[in-house]
Structure 1
């Protein structure tokens, strides 16, 4: 899976990259602002974006998720500010709060992978909130869960 990291904390982005590349995902970024995220998304066309809420220069991950959703790119929020995320945003799968563990991050990405492929999500990490209904697929058709 091609995953875009939208994160302004370099150590957190490095941790995410390490875990995801170890299981074979192609990881891009990190993008630290809305502009960087959109430019990178247009260039690499990721399958999924992992998006923090508070980004560099006062940018908001909520705006990033909206911009990426308009491009058909789904987002999974990874944030310490869970209370700022409201379910129901187009093309958002859920939220995994920080701090995360390797197991919870990989589990959340596996849930996203399942939802995006139209499969039942299986075991959702305890700390993850899966948004309902699931987001539209990239083709604009609701996945069959």
Structure 2
């Protein structure tokens, strides 16, 4: 899968990139603001975006996810701020994997998202992951 990282914490983005590339995913980004995320997506549409809620320069991952979803890019939140996802209207995205995450948890969450996008029932949903669909 081609996966866009929307994460302003450099070390977390590098960790995600390492885990994802290890199993063969093509990683784009990281985008550190909502505007950057939209620009990356416009450049080459990713199959999935992993989105943090709090982004750099006062930017908001929920806004980024709404814009990405409107562009046809499905989003999975990876955040410590799960409660903020429920404020301000309907939930956007496939679900949420809370931070901190493990390598196996992140990969299982991405696989669950892939299954949902393919119309399949996910087999191995991480215990801490909340699905919105």
Matched residue, 1:89: 91
How many residue pairs end up in the alignment? Answer: 131
Distance in 2 (CA, whole Å) between partners of 1:35 and 1:125 is 30
Matched residue, 1:138: none
Q: TM-score, normalised by structure 2?
A: 0.95
What displacement does 1:123 show? 1.7
Distance in 2 (CA, whole Å) between partners of 1:16 and 1:100 is 10
Deviations 1:112-138 (A, max 9, x none): 00000111011210110011xx3xxxx
Distance in 2 (CA, whole Å) between partners of 1:10 and 1:100 is 15
Deviations 1:8-67 (A, max 9, x none): 000000000000000000001000001100000000200000000000011000000000
The answer to whether the Cα contact below 8 Å between 1:77 and 1:96 also exists between their aligned partners in 2 is yes
Matched residue, 1:63: 63
Distance in 2 (CA, whole Å) between partners of 1:60 and 1:46 is 19
Matched residue, 2:114: 113
SS at match of 1:108: helix
1:25 matched to 2:47? The reply is no
Distance in 2 (CA, whole Å) between partners of 1:40 and 1:89 is 23
| Aligned residue runs from structure 1 range 24-63, under 5 A | 24-63=24-63
Distance in 1 (CA, whole Å) between partners of 2:51 and 2:125 is 18
Distance in 2 (CA, whole Å) between partners of 1:9 and 1:44 is 23
Where structure 1 has 5 or more consecutive residues not aligned to the other structure, the ranges are: 135-145
Runs ≥4 residues deviating over 4 A: none
What displacement does 1:88 show? 4.1
